[in-house]
Structure 1
Amino acid sequence: MKFSTKIESLQPSATIELNSKALELQNKGYEIVRLTAGEPDFETPQPIINAAYQAMKEGKTKYTDNKGIKELRQKIAQYINKKYSTNYNENNVIVTNGGKQALFNSLFLITNPGDEIIVIDPSWVSYDAQIRMVGGIPVHVKATKENNYIPEKKHLENAITKKTKAIIINSPNNPTGVVYDKEFMSFISKLSIDHDFIILSDEVYDALVYDGDYTSMANFEKSRDRTIFVNSFSKTWSMTGWRVGYTIANEKIITQMAKIQSHSTSNVNTPSQYAALKALEIDNSYMVKEFKKRRDYLYAEFIKLGLTFHKPKGAFYYFIDISKYGLNDKEFCEKLLEYGLAVVPGSAFFCDGHIRLSFAASMNDLQKAVEILKKFLTDLETERV
């Protein structure tokens, strides 16, 4: 049986694959600390759960407008308008099955075969795969830790060709935790206007910022009409399994996306939409405070261990350079798993010689992880002597 060559050439999501492997070991009785998936350990706030339950009791279990219920689209627009001084309305919003579908719909809509999409590395595992799935060509631009994982402007400019259709911007960034400053975001805004391409802005971690101010691509009015804004309820309100994301863009784009969704998934799970409607009223500051506490704890411990890394300003990941230990990142992760700690190799994010470690886990798990790392690194040093 022959399958699509585009799909056969893809690798599964490394983060999901490694998380599944760690879960499998746990189910076999092994004690594994899983710092693989970007999934908050907090329970979904009870009022959100209650809202979904109430919706079901009221018979709100049927199809909805495939763009999402009007009340939710209105409330999302109001929420973003308040945060970023924009003027969106419900016709600028489509509710999607998580942030991944929001991204996929966007790429599927704008990409013709051979179109180039610029991606800044290290980059989230699904960008490259989704671009290839829709027939586009990913163009990777490297950003280094020496430059705070912000790509050099000349490198971005050199990556632009007549085939450039869009650039993907991810801030706060997965896997590095970098938060792009206003000056860099302004540069991207101007670049998109000067070269007539689309900005696909993935801001699913915009509510998880620990230091300094946050600048959204939605803040730039001149490029707003060519910006597709992707977000999700998963990280902000610990709703990963509820599968609710959204896209905000000009009305023409949203109308076209609605056609895609009408022929693929139809509407998002109806009770989940009512849960998301309630979520927009819930203060998540206690989660942010706890994530910051965990980040700061790991920062102090990693300094003691002599690890090479950059302190994340947002999201909930540490991206650590392990190249000095004489193992490639996959070998490092495999050996570390034998010690009981699961993390993701940097090569999954197009940056060899690194690992990504999530601190969206309990403090107890993070403390265990530090002890495992300490023993593992000590043993590695002993082997090398």
Structure 2
Amino acid sequence: MKLASRLSNLGTENAFEVLNEVNRLKAAGRDIISFAIGEPDFDTPDNVKQAGIRAIKDNFTHYSPSAGILPLREAIARHIANTRAIQVTPDEVVVTPGGKPIIYYILHALVNPGDEVIYPNPGFPIYESVIRFTGGIPVPAPILEERDFSLDTRELEKRITPRTKLIILNSPHNPTGGMLTPQDLKHIAELACRHDLWILSDEIYSRIAYAGSFASISSLPGMQARTIILDGFSKTYAMTGWRLGYGIMPQELAVHIARLITNCESCTNTFVQYGGLEALTGPQAFVEGMVAEFKARRDLIVAGLNSIPGVSCKVPKGAFYVFPNVTEACKKLRLADGKALQQYLLHTASVAALPRSAFGERNTGETQEYLRFSYATSRENIVKGLERIAQAMALIP
């Protein structure tokens, strides 16, 4: 089969590969406790589901504008204005089927072959994948444990060259749960203004923050005009399967992103958008309760992991992931690396996690081993999984 050479530059999201392996083991009769997939285990709120059902019954089943229905864009503009302290109009909002299309379309709209894009590493693997697919040059910036998994802005500054076009930020951060500090954001903003750079700020976990309030770089002086905010409904409202996200960007750019949508999918599902409208404008008690439960689960899993010899786990400040250092555990079990430990836990302890290698190649000089655990599962499963891990760690393969 003769395929386009560009496909060789396209990566994947390893969480789904592990999920497929977990499902195969479950189908074979194994009882697997999975901490692998980054998806809230809560059901979509009933008022949101009912809004989607009403929209279908009311025949909102036809095309909508490529940028999204006006009522939803107006609601998103109000929400962003209230939470980021910036002025936003509906013309600066583009609605997409999930958050990933914003990454894909923004990189295609801004990055020419040979342009450099700085992104967090470890980080969401789709960043690097799409940078390469556009012909851009991915430039990883280290996310370091010794900085509580906040981006090292001094290292970021060293990576800026005349070819740098865009910096990708993600706070709260996947896979570590770290968050950018106000000082970090200020430094990055200064760099962006000095070097005339775009910022793609992935804020999909903005409502799931535990330590202090969330802050967006778009709120800083001079930054709204050069920032694209990525946000959506999947994580905040347990709507992953609905596929509904959005971007906030200068109107001149939004016109081009809407045209890309016209060429690719025409529009985002119309009745799904009405579900999103209800999510954003309806009662928010669900979100508050879910975040409180995630915080309790975070405390449970962090304490449990830190009680296991060979494992050291920082307390994440946001999202629903922990990123424990398992270097000593690998040595204790005589395993080559975190990937080997991930496979060992899956097949020996029936516990699924993701290795550091699922989130990008190692940074230069990086020697530590990590696993990512998503605590978007019940407290009962967390306790049971921790018990299995502790038992497996006591064995020598």
User: Out of 312, 315, 319, which is 2:319 matched to?
Assistant: 315
For residue 376 of structure 1, report the CA deviation from its aligned partner. Answer: 1.1
* C-alpha contact (below 8 Å) 1:181/1:214 kept by paired residues: no
Equivalent residue letter for 1:344: L
SS in 2 for 1:143: strand
User: Out of 364, 368, 375, which is 1:359 matched to?
Assistant: 375
| 1:201-238 deviation line (CA, Å, top 9, x unaligned) | 00000000011122112211311100010011000000
In structure 2, how many angstroms separate the alpha carbons of the residues matched to 1:236 and 1:258?
A: 24
For residue 26 of structure 1, report the CA deviation from its aligned partner. Answer: 1.2
For residue 105 of structure 1, report the CA deviation from its aligned partner. Answer: 1.0
1:253 — aligned with what? 253
SS in 2 for 1:312: coil
In structure 1, how many angstroms separate the alpha carbons of the residues matched to 2:245 and 2:57?
A: 24
1:287 — aligned with what? 290
SS in 2 for 1:315: coil
2:350 — aligned with what? 340
User: Out of 294, 300, 305, which is 1:302 matched to?
Assistant: 305
1:6 — aligned with what? 6
Equivalent residue letter for 1:155: E
SS in 1 for 2:264: coil
Alignment of 1:329 with 2:338, yes or no, is: yes
- Stretch deviating more after TM superposition (132-141 or 10-19): 10-19
Distance 1:282 1:266, change over 3 A: farther
Instruction: Give matches, 1:130-145, under 5 Å.
Output: 130-145=130-145
In structure 2, how many angstroms separate the alpha carbons of the residues matched to 1:6 and 1:282?
A: 45
For residue 20 of structure 1, report the CA deviation from its aligned partner. Answer: 1.6
Distance 1:103 1:51, change over 3 A: same
Equivalent residue letter for 1:320: P
SS in 1 for 2:99: helix
In structure 1, how many angstroms separate the alpha carbons of the residues matched to 2:256 and 2:221?
A: 22
* Unmatched 5+ stretches in structure 2: 363-367
Instruction: Give matches, 1:1-385, under 5 Å.
Output: 1-280=1-280, 281-283=282-284, 284-306=287-309, 307-324=311-328, 325-326=330-331, 327=335, 328-338=337-347, 339-350=349-360, 351=362, 353-380=369-396, 383=397
Equivalent residue letter for 1:357: F
For residue 152 of structure 1, report the CA deviation from its aligned partner. Answer: 3.1
* C-alpha contact (below 8 Å) 2:172/2:203 kept by paired residues: yes
Report the TM-score, using the length of structure 2 for normalisation.
0.93
* C-alpha contact (below 8 Å) 1:144/1:150 kept by paired residues: yes
In structure 2, how many angstroms separate the alpha carbons of the residues matched to 1:18 and 1:200?
A: 28
In structure 2, how many angstroms separate the alpha carbons of the residues matched to 1:342 and 1:288?
A: 23
- Stretch deviating more after TM superposition (6-15 or 98-107): 6-15
Structure 1 residue runs of 4+, over 3 Å off? none
SS in 2 for 1:308: coil
SS in 2 for 1:263: helix
| 1:326-356 deviation line (CA, Å, top 9, x unaligned) | 3211111111111211111111112462110
* Unmatched 5+ stretches in structure 1: none
* C-alpha contact (below 8 Å) 1:74/1:90 kept by paired residues: yes
Distance 1:90 1:139, change over 3 A: same
* C-alpha contact (below 8 Å) 2:150/2:181 kept by paired residues: no
* C-alpha contact (below 8 Å) 1:99/1:231 kept by paired residues: yes
- Stretch deviating more after TM superposition (126-135 or 210-219): 210-219
* C-alpha contact (below 8 Å) 1:347/1:353 kept by paired residues: no
SS in 2 for 1:221: coil
In structure 2, how many angstroms separate the alpha carbons of the residues matched to 1:178 and 1:41?
A: 21
Equivalent residue letter for 1:293: A
* Percent identity between the two aligned chains: 35
Report the TM-score, using the length of structure 1 for normalisation.
0.96
For residue 9 of structure 1, report the CA deviation from its aligned partner. Answer: 4.0
| 1:184-206 deviation line (CA, Å, top 9, x unaligned) | 11111111000011000000000
| 1:99-126 deviation line (CA, Å, top 9, x unaligned) | 1111111111101011100012111111
| 1:296-315 deviation line (CA, Å, top 9, x unaligned) | 11122122114212210000
